[in-house]
Structure formats: structure tokens, C-alpha cells
Structure 1
Amino acid sequence: MAARAGLGYITPPKPSDNNTTCILNKGDTGALESQRYYLARKTVLEMLRDRGCVVDDSEVDRTLSEFRSVFGEKPDVDQLRICVPFLSRPSKKILVIFCGPLEINKAKATGIILNILNKESLHRIILVLENKINHFARTVFEECQVKMEMFPITELFANITKHVAAPKIEILSTMEKEQLLKKYELADKQLPYMLESDAIARYYGLEKKQVVKVTYNSKNTGLLVTYRCVI
């Protein structure tokens, strides 16, 4: 069977101006700005937990009204920062920075990097973007000693792994990958593949040559297990 990209299920569409408004409104009478940050920050916290980071349940389960009581109707993006360690490697952390509504140019990108303390303890830095980022700013981030990931804030208004058609994803360890390839006498390039740019791969922060176990369980497919190698 030929290898196919993606996971074979329908990924929720990226929010347009119209459906973003639908996601955000839902009868809420408070400031739209705080609702945007609330939804994005909640998804980021869920993403960090799914990557194996230590995330307090009270942070994830915080309601919109509780969020507003802590951060206000117009949150200061610096107060929204998140820095959490991995459960298995407490000395390594992921830092999440909300970049605010202004376009990111070289000067702003340089300022973001200079204001990050203890870079040696960071495994990744995630930037939540609200505006454009120019070429010079991207170059600054690419030269950072810590790997940077960028997510437009609109992609974080909903958690794609909670989509009705989303399968269960399990990331294989190096040993589990070797055992799988040995069992079926395969090279990793012979496995069905998933692009590193795939929305699910980005959510979990997957890198090239990592392998995931994908389990579908629905009325249409029944119980189906497959594996994907990130390329």
C-alpha cells in the first residue's frame, strides 16, 4: 500500500473571520480580547500536557470568568506567559510567549529573545502570533539556540485533537520504534508517513523520523491501528 500523508481523517478547517466570530461569541457579553486569549491559552495548556509537561489541572479547567478575574478584560500578554517542565525531565522546560497584536519585525524579535532568561533550561519556545512576522524577524528566531515553534492565535481557538473524527495518538519511544521496525522487518521510510507540518505533528511538537501509533475506533472503521513516521 502506498504511503499517504496526514492521518486520514478530516482536520477541522482553519478559522476564517466568520467562523472565528462564531467560536468566540456564544452569547458572551465580555471583552472579545479576553475571550480570544482564554481559548488560545487553554488549548496551549492542553497541548503542553499532551507533550508530557507538568500542567496544573486548575489552569486547564479555569473558566472564562475565572480567567478574567485573574488577567482582566484586556490581558497583558506578558502575564499570559507559560513556562513548564517535562514530567520525565524536570530540568528541561517549554516556554510559551504571547506576542501581542503588533507586527513582529527584527527589533521586536530581538527584544523577545533578549528578554528570555535561562535559555539553557529550555527545550522549546512556542510563540503565539496575532499579526504578521517579517523575514528579518524569522531569521532572528531561526538563529536562536532554542528551537522555536510558531502558532497563529486563530489556530488555537479550538483543540484539534478533540475533533469528533480525531484518532488516538501515541508517540513511540526510540526503543518502541526499533521494536516495531524489527517485528515487521521494515525501515522507517517504508511506514506510512506524516508531514512534520501536519497539524497533529505540530500540536505534539514531533520531529522527523519520530513514529506515532494511530488508533481509530468508530462505527465506520471499527478498531483500526496504524503507524506513521514523521518526514
Structure 2
Amino acid sequence: MTLSDDEITRLFRIHKTLMQMLQDRGYMGPETELNRADFIGKYGEHMKREDLVIQRAKRNDSSDQIFVFFPEESKVGVKTIKTYTNRMKSESVFSAILVVQQNLTPFARTCVAEISSKFHVEVFLEAELLVNITQHELVPKHQLLTTEEKKTLLERYTVKETQLPRIQVTDPVARYYGLKRGQVVKIIRPSETAGRYVTYRYVV
């Protein structure tokens, strides 16, 4: 089935957000962004969603890789999840982002939860990726602290991590950065008086 012009534009925008997301999460990627014409040039006018698969490695650890899958079917079921996890297993990749047109079937959701101890699969609706929310002027800069930075922060302020303000793991910005429970994120806001205002949030 050939995609309409509107769908190609939609997938181009989603792909662009994902490339920015992977860069922001510390994965390697191209220095320049594809424009719409380059995107069509790369994937063809008769592109299929499944051709858009992205595989990236972390900048500081090439063994830490992630896949981004674009399932063809509008309602993803268990079979598709199994196909993807088999591919991940064969290539020793343990993280993936699934870009779906509609919410997963209840069975597929259960399947993702059951494999979560081995494979970390995040699910995003296409509609959530049409714009990069972190580029909105009202969204401050978020920076994930390393284990070492988190330790230093807690020692400096003599606080327990649970005493810090919280950010839900389901928060759209937390999902964009792929934050996990127990991590601490630094939030930098512009401030009229101090130039910038820094707070820390504990991911729950």
C-alpha cells in the first residue's frame, strides 16, 4: 500500500523528532538533519513504515544500542512484539522504541511488561512524536545526572533522593529522555534575576 503525501510528511516529522530524541539521549547520529526531500530520497516515494527502522549506539559505549521500530499494522499484537524481540536478541540489542499508530492490544501490552526484565521496550504513539516537546519555549532544559553526579549532589545537600521533588516516569518529558525510576534529572530554567534557576527531580 503506497502512502499518501500527507502520511509521508507525517512520517518525516516523526522520524525527525526521533533522531533528535536519540541525540538527546546520547546516541550517535548524523550531524545534519534530513529535509523532506532527502527523507524521500533515502526511503523512496513508496516507502513502507517497516523500512524506517533505526539502529543507534551510545556515544560513550558502542555496545549499548537501541532499535526504533515502525510496525506496519495499525494495531500491534503479540506476534509483532515477538518478531522484534527475536531480532533484538539475535543482535544483542536490549532497548527499543516502538512507534505505533494506535495503542497496543491488551495482550501486546502484557507481553511488553513480561519481557521488561530482559528487553526495555518503550511505546510511543505516532501522534506523540509529530513535534519535539522539548523544543517548546515553556519546557526547560533537562539533564540526566550520572550515578556519580547524583551521589555528589545528595552528599552536597545531605538529602536522600526521596526528599527531592519528583517527576513521574510517565511524564512526557521523562518519556522523551527515556528516564528510569531512581534516576535524578537536573532542570535548568531561565531566570530574570539569576540568569538561570536550577532544580533537581527524582524519577518515580
TM-score (norm 1): 0.80
RMSD: 1.9
Contact conserved, 1:106 with 1:140, CA < 8 A, in 2?
yes
Structure 2: how far apart are the matches of 1:153 and 1:74?
A: 19
Partner of 1:96: 68
**Displacement of 1:126:** 0.4
Q: CA deviation at 1:100?
A: 2.5
Aligned pair count reads 199
Matches within 5 A, 1:2-13: none
- Residue 88 of structure 2 contacts residue 94 of structure 2 at CA under 8 Å; is this kept in 1? no
One-letter code aligned to 1:93: Q
Look up the match of 1:86: 58
Q: Which residue number in structure 2 is paired with residue 112 of structure 1? A: 84
Residue 224 (structure 1) shift: 1.0
Q: Which residue of 1 aligns with 2:153?
A: 180
Question: 1:99 deviation in Å?
Answer: 1.3
Aligned to 1:44: 18
Does the Cα contact within 8 Å between 1:172 and 1:211 map onto a contact in 2? yes
Change (3 A) 1:220 1:166: farther
Q: Which residue of 2 aligns with 1:164?
A: 137
SS at 1:209 equivalent: coil
Kindly, what percent of the aligned residue pairs are identical? Answer: 32
- Which residue of structure 1 lines up, in the alignment, with residue 101 of structure 2? 130
Distance 1:183 1:111 in 2: 47
Amino acid at match of 1:168: K
Structure 1 residues 183-198: aligned runs within 5 Å: 183-198=156-171
Q: How far apart are 1:66 and its partner, in Å?
A: 1.4
Q: Which runs of 4+ in 1 moved over 6 A?
A: none
Which range moves more in the overlay, 63-72 or 145-154?
63-72
Q: Equivalent residue for 1:217? A: 190
CA contact (8 A) 1:83 1:95 kept: yes
Match of 2:196, SS state, is strand
Paired AA for residue 69 in structure 1? G
Q: Deviations over 1:72-123 (max 9, x none)?
A: 3442122100000001110110100011242112233333333445342x24
Give the Cα separation in 1 of the matches to 2:10 and 2:150. Answer: 39
Q: CA deviation at 1:222?
A: 4.8
